[in-house]
Amino acid sequence: MAIRATSDHLVRLVRSYWSDYIFVMSEEISLYNAKATLSALVRRVREGRSYTITVHGQPVAELRPFDPPPLRTLTLAERIAELEAQGVISAGEGSARDLAQWPIHHRVNGALERFLDERE
């Protein structure tokens, strides 16, 4: 449940064990103090707190818990179609039979294999 506060910060209603409800709002912290206490801030953010980082009293960034987007599961055909639409890949000409005409190159041993062969 979201409520807009008078300070124009979005607050969340959070259940508390010592009272029915408490308001949790983004706390402001200066960039200087954020740099000095970053590890502690990240620990508190992992617990659900949010911070607004300010420079000369003006808000410039927000430090809040990360909410990853839901994972999409695509079939191979859907993923290929998506990459083609983005221009990342393009369909080749010909068929798989045309690949038979290309020579197969022999694998060259890696540096470790050559080193071990020389030691013997």
| pLDDT 10s digits, 28-72 | 999 999 999 999 999 999 999 999 999 999 999 999 998 887 877
> Rounded to whole angstroms, how far apart are CA atoms 8 and 71?
32
Q: Is the pLDDT of residue 91 over 90?
A: no
Q: What mean pLDDT is predicted for residues 1-20?
A: 37
Shortest CA distance to 32 belongs to which of 4, 56, 63?
56
Q: Which whole-number Å values give the CA distances from 14 to 2, 17, 52, 62, in the listed order?
A: 10, 10, 19, 20
The pLDDT value given to residue 28: 94
- pTM reported for the whole predicted model: 0.42
